Chains A and B, each alone.
Chain A
Amino acid sequence: MPSIQAVDIVKRFGSFTANDKVSLQAFAGEILAVVGENGAGKSTLMNMLSGLLHPDDGEIRMQGTPVKFGSPRDAIERGIGMVHQHFMLIPVLTVAENVVLGHEPSNGFFDRREAERRVDELSARYGLKLQPRARVENLPVGLQQRVEILKVLYWGSEILIFDEPTAVLTPQETRELFVVLRELATHRRTIIFITHKLKEVMAVSDKIIVLRTGKVVGELITSETSPREIASLMVGRDVLPTVHKPPPRIGEPIVVIRDLHVQSDLGVEAVKGIDLEIHGGEILGIAGVEGNGQTELVEALTGLRPATSGSATLKALDLLAGNSTVKTSAAKVREAGVAYVPEDRRERGLVLPYTVANNLILGLEDSPKFSRGGILNFSKVRSWARGLVPRYDIRPPRTDIPAGNLSGGNQQKVVLAREFSEDPLLLIAAQPTRGLDIGAAQFVHERLVEKRDSGTAVLLVSAELDEILALSDRIAVIYEGEIMGIFDAGESNEEQIGLLMTGGEERAAEQSIDLEAPALVQG
């Protein structure tokens, strides 16, 4: 009997049908992958299974018995836990507080020590290393996800739903996660795994459900299918797999970084003496496990964070403004020709309640193109936006709706459209395809290569090694704030780089799961 089952679930938002008679079933000890492009209805379905949303029609059954969840609490009590794509964490609380929230140990008061002890115990058992007393807001995204996973494990959930869990992980971390998933499956837990990365589907799942535009379009057994079959079901047509990339025409060094030191928010040295040169017409990829100084490096280069010492120059301009203790203004850096696609588009890339048109001129609002004497000329803003929307294939093709209403992929296209529009000398792209589906990721990749070919120096920071390997002309591996090695694209391989990303330690033992399924899709 399936441990959880959805039968003909229907969910509508206004006139939009997000789930149209969707059915699935999952058994204890089994890993079920739910795949589909963004907007296919995966998250909506999972939000219903976890009690956050209520189906308009159809029913959910557990062990064959129909169940109704009034709230996530009901679902949790029935043993369904969800690891969300956008983390459900309280940034100002500690790791331990976040994990036990809702089910706190108590001795009359909140028993902090007991909470920390239990978190230590759980993290040791599942190999998810964490400091229980660290404040979540100070952790890099990768570690925040661990907190999410620990939370669900702490709830003792029998059915675990993972919403795009690998979007933020390195290959090593992904392998570790898959070991955890397998381990959980052998303990008769039911794993539902939402993703659009076919490599991972092939590597870890037992069965696959494919969703497209709110409907189930395929139910597959993993061992009997191929990535190509899944991809064409997802997209509804055959997919062109790889990025077309002509050989680079590498020019002069545009950015020169010398002995750069930067501190993290905690006052710890996060970037420890980095030397790098980025040339025009090349994509320099920074490979590394998240939280190894990439964020701080990028923020120093974009004027968002002061450097403690060292230098960084863009052509002749000092990016650090000659004063290492005072950060230079982000606006000056931007004016000098640096474009920046930030790693968190919702936090830093966009103002979600603003319209698409207004988002497209963020940072450019004082330019004479759009305003005079501080008064915005909205007809110019609109016509500018109407030019960019079709060029970047932003869907729906409207300039007057809030950016927050767009899907993740289309939000990212808005950021790219804005950042690319000013013909930058240096383009910094941090995690540019995080959370994007195949089609959108491919689009982003093509645009990055296009920029490179027009002579821009591109600094690509990504936790996705596939993406780094597919796009970069040179690859620099970062580990604990230091560059471990720089490779030309031709002379590197995934294993070698993966090893350096973890400090060059032997990790061979952990490679029990083969990720080398056919690399049909990049990113």
Chain B
Amino acid sequence: MSIVTASGLWTTLFDANLWQATLRQATPLALAALGGVISERSGVVNIAMEGMMLVGAFFAVFYSVIFANAAIGVVMGMVAGGIMALFLAYGAIHLRADQIVMGVAVNLAALGLTGYLLFNKYGTNGTPQSCFAPPACQKGSVYTIPDYSVPLLHRLPAVGQILFQQSPIVYVMLGLVVLVHIFIFRTTLGLRIRAVGENPRAADTAGINVQAVRYLTVTLSGVLSGLAGAYLSLTVGSFSEGMTSGRGFIALAAMIFGKWTPFGAFGACMLFGFGQALYVDLQNTSGPLQSYSTLVATLPYLLTIVALAGFIGRAIPPAADGQPYDPAAAG
């Protein structure tokens, strides 16, 4: 494919490959961002999603090798993310430490832990060979998640390729956007989560266990970040040091851009995913646009700054977001 002119860019925009890649890029962001929505709605700022994602990515590969099964790898990645989240929860909720500082600590710990384990378990060669199915897979290779084409639907022109020739985790993510929305806004637990995030003392007096709710939401956030990490590593079939490369923070920005709502966060993730997909696309071209690809990649973030500065309506966080709750500090 060669893009020489602006009309070349035009053709790129109508290329189903670009949009398929957009959804792929958006998936790990959206999974983490959904977790972020749940956590922040209960009043815990989770900047540790990056670290939870990284740990999830490593352990997904690790257990995929051990059990020779990608699905078990994914589940273990989620468990690992959840366990990482418990550290944040213990510090930020139980000990009432500053949530940002705790989050930074978890991120650094995750980077160190996965870096150490990568070398310790696999040496300097990195994670083992990846494979999709038994004939190619031998003992000790990384079982990777193959794409799954939805019968019939994937044959639809354009839409088929974009929506129905994807990793199973992409379908899971799309379903979760709806489920998390229902969870937050239509269930009793969701009502309690929002109450805790707005006025924990009022929730406490109404008999809601603020600490328990926050432990749950932070853990859920960790599990979703772990899933995002598992998607990253088990789609390519390898883990490398720091492979999340800031996606946890981008997810955080997407969540804010999306005004702490699942659909909003998803939309923002699609925008960021589009930026990344376009960047990759342009890099693989020759011609004048290639040299601008990095610049193009910054566009979604510039747009985020504009949006957060208040041009698309002010984003109002939950009133008690970021505030530790001390039940004994009554007036």
Q: Is the CB of B188 within 8 A of A106?
A: yes
Q: Is the CB of A101 within 8 A of B203?
A: yes
Interface residues of A in 22-54 (CB under 8 A from B): 43-44, 47, 50, 52-54
Q: Among the interface residues B187, B188, B209, which one has the most CB atoms of the partner chain A within 10 A?
A: B188
Q: Which of B203, B327, B331 contacts A102 (CB 8 A)?
A: B203
Interface residues of B in 186-213 (CB under 8 A from A): 186-188, 190-192, 194-195, 198-199, 201-209
- Given A73-B207, A73-B209, A93-B191, check contact A110 B186 (CB 8 Å): yes
Q: Which of B188, B190, B194, B202 contacts A88 (CB 8 A)?
A: B202
Q: Which residues of A contact B190 (CB under 8 A)?
A: 110
Q: Tell me the complex Cα distance, A43–B319, Å.
A: 25
- Number of A residues near B (Cβ < 8 Å) is 32
Q: Which of B187, B191, B205, B327 contacts A84 (CB 8 A)?
A: B205
Q: Is the CB of B327 within 8 A of A52?
A: yes
Q: Tell me the complex Cα distance, A395–B188, Å.
A: 45
- Given A88-B202, A92-B198, A109-B182, check contact A104 B207 (CB 8 Å): no
**Interface: B330 (CB within 8 A):** yes
* Least CB separation from A51: chain B residue: B205
- Given A52-B330, A71-B327, A110-B190, check contact A101 B208 (CB 8 Å): yes
**Interface: A209 (CB within 8 A):** no
**Interface: A331 (CB within 8 A):** no
Q: Which of B186, B208, B209, B319 contacts A109 (CB 8 A)?
A: B186
Q: Tell me the complex Cα distance, A103–B207, Å.
A: 8
Interface residues of B in 70-96 (CB under 8 A from A): none
* Least CB separation from A50: chain B residue: B205
Q: Is the CB of A90 within 8 A of B328?
A: no
Q: Is the CB of A53 within 8 A of B194?
A: no
* Least CB separation from A89: chain B residue: B202
Q: Tell me the complex Cα distance, A77–B209, Å.
A: 13
Q: Tell me the complex Cα distance, A106–B189, Å.
A: 10
| B168 to A: closest C-beta gap in Å | 27
Q: Is the CB of A88 within 8 A of B195?
A: no
| B262 to A: closest C-beta gap in Å | 16
Q: Is the CB of A101 within 8 A of B192?
A: yes
Q: Is the CB of A90 within 8 A of B207?
A: no
Interface residues of A in 93-114 (CB under 8 A from B): 93, 97, 101-104, 106, 109-110
Q: Is the CB of B186 within 8 A of A88?
A: no
| A85 to B: closest C-beta gap in Å | 9
Interface residues of B in 291-331 (CB under 8 A from A): 319, 327-328, 330-331
Q: Is the CB of A88 within 8 A of B199?
A: yes
Q: Is the CB of A101 within 8 A of B198?
A: no
Q: Is the CB of B195 within 8 A of A101?
A: yes
Q: Is the CB of A109 within 8 A of B203?
A: no
Q: Which residues of B contact A86 (CB under 8 A)?
A: 331
**Interface: A76 (CB within 8 A):** yes
Q: Which of B182, B191, B207 contacts A76 (CB 8 A)?
A: B207
Q: Is the CB of A102 within 8 A of B206?
A: yes
Q: Tell me the complex Cα distance, A76–B186, Å.
A: 25
| B22 to A: closest C-beta gap in Å | 32
* Least CB separation from A102: chain B residue: B206
Q: Which of A52, A92, A93, A151 contacts B204 (CB 8 A)?
A: A52
**Interface: A253 (CB within 8 A):** no
Q: Which of B195, B330, B331 contacts A90 (CB 8 A)?
A: B195
Q: Is the CB of B201 within 8 A of A88?
A: yes
Q: Is the CB of A73 within 8 A of B201?
A: no
Q: Which residues of A contact B206 (CB under 8 A)?
A: 72, 76, 88, 101-103, 151
How many chain B residues sit at the interface, stated as a range, is 20 to 34
Interface string of B27-54 (1 = CB under 8 A from A): 0000000000000000000000000000
Q: Tell me the complex Cα distance, A71–B330, Å.
A: 12
Q: Is the CB of A93 within 8 A of B209?
A: no
- Given A50-B205, A72-B205, A103-B207, check contact A93 B195 (CB 8 Å): yes
Q: Tell me the complex Cα distance, A76–B190, Å.
A: 21
* Least CB separation from B189: chain A residue: A110
Q: Which residues of B contact A84 (CB under 8 A)?
A: 205
| A272 to B: closest C-beta gap in Å | 30
**Interface: A91 (CB within 8 A):** yes
Q: Tell me the complex Cα distance, A404–B204, Å.
A: 21
Q: Tell me the complex Cα distance, A96–B303, Å.
A: 38
* Least CB separation from A53: chain B residue: B330
Interface residues of B in 146-191 (CB under 8 A from A): 182, 186-188, 190-191
Q: Tell me the complex Cα distance, A309–B202, Å.
A: 39
Q: Tell me the complex Cα distance, A266–B274, Å.
A: 39
Q: Which residues of B contact A72 (CB under 8 A)?
A: 204-207
**Interface: A82 (CB within 8 A):** yes
Q: Which residues of B contact A82 (CB under 8 A)?
A: 205
| B214 to A: closest C-beta gap in Å | 14
Q: Tell me the complex Cα distance, A335–B327, Å.
A: 42
- Given A92-B198, A93-B191, A110-B186, check contact A73 B330 (CB 8 Å): no
Q: Tell me the complex Cα distance, A75–B207, Å.
A: 8
Q: Is the CB of A91 within 8 A of B319?
A: yes
Q: Which residues of B contact A76 (CB under 8 A)?
A: 206-207
| B179 to A: closest C-beta gap in Å | 12
Interface residues of A in 66-82 (CB under 8 A from B): 71-73, 76-77, 82
Q: Tell me the complex Cα distance, A84–B199, Å.
A: 14
| A10 to B: closest C-beta gap in Å | 15
Q: Which residues of A contact B202 (CB under 8 A)?
A: 87-90, 101
Q: Which residues of A contact B319 (CB under 8 A)?
A: 91-92
* Least CB separation from A151: chain B residue: B206
- Given A52-B327, A52-B330, A110-B191, check contact A71 B204 (CB 8 Å): yes
Q: Which residues of B contact A151 (CB under 8 A)?
A: 206
- Given A109-B182, A110-B186, A110-B188, check contact A90 B194 (CB 8 Å): yes
Q: Which residues of A contact B204 (CB under 8 A)?
A: 52, 71-72
A-B contact pairs, 12 of them (CB 8 A): A52-B327, A53-B330, A72-B204, A72-B206, A73-B207, A76-B206, A91-B199, A92-B319, A97-B191, A102-B192, A104-B191, A155-B207
7 interchain residue pairs of minimum CB distance: A102-B206, A73-B207, A88-B202, A104-B188, A102-B207, A76-B207, A88-B205
* Extra 17 A-B pairs, beta carbons < 8 Å, given A43-B331, A52-B327, A72-B204: A71-B204, A71-B327, A77-B207, A88-B199, A88-B202, A90-B194, A90-B195, A90-B198, A90-B199, A90-B202, A92-B194, A92-B319, A97-B191, A102-B206, A104-B192, A109-B182, A110-B188
